Amino acid sequence: MDKKTVIEAAVNAFRSEKYVYERFLNGVVDSFSLQPELNAYGNPIIYTVKSRIKDIDHLREKISRKWSDDDPISPENVFEKITDLAGVRILHLYQDQFPHIHNHIMSQIESGDWFFREAPVAYSWDPEASEFFKSLGLDAKTRDTYYTSIHYVISPKADSHVYCEVQVRTLFEEIWGEIDHTLNYPVPTTSRSCKEQLRVLSKLVSTGTRLADSIFRSQQDSLSGTDVKPIS
């Protein structure tokens, strides 16, 4: 078969299994949005949960973009090679909240409700943040683009071909990610100025996230009585 025919066959393979992905995706979303410890009224750990199933046209374009004559994407391997057919994005306000989200994911793994397809990865250009993620057992990696996000790829069974990519990031990181995605997906920008400005923005995002952590730590110190009070 020619390339176009193989790509269309791979797309149709996903189309026939789309309902299975939607069912698992809904369960993943509910796991986060219905967990009381992550959604306490007034001070929730999770700010919002986003989800999506890969659009058919976008899948067709991605397969074409990733196509290799030596290792083509076919109906037999499309579920193995394209792991973001279902996606969930968890947004939170500041980094100190992340361990609670990570622990929830790990509890789902330990209970056998979810299985990792691959080891989770924390993408960050910030060495201090990378050390923080490593302390939680995550594989910390750096991208030249300064991309920042934590990625988990999970499935409902150890031998399942159904996967869901879970991304976790702060609201500051989400702003950067949306701007970067607009400029660099599916075709990266060729503007040198845009690339440099995105790197500057990533540093501002990191500063904002650290400042948010500091603000909430100060609030906790104030509530616990450990905050130093000025002499009257």
**Cβ(116)–Cβ(109) below 8 Å:** yes
* H or E element in which residue 82 lies: none
* 60, two tokens: 């067709």
Confirm or reject CATH 3.30.460.10 for domain 3-172, answering yes or no. Answer: yes
What three-state secondary structure class fits 127? helix
Q: How many residues does the chain have?
A: 232
Domain ranges of the chain: 3-172
Which residues are paired to 48 by β-bridges?
A: 91
> Per residue in 129-188, pLDDT tens?
999 999 999 999 998 888 899 999 999 999 999 999 999 999 999 999 999 999 998 889
pLDDT tens digits, residue range 3-16?
999 999 999 999 99
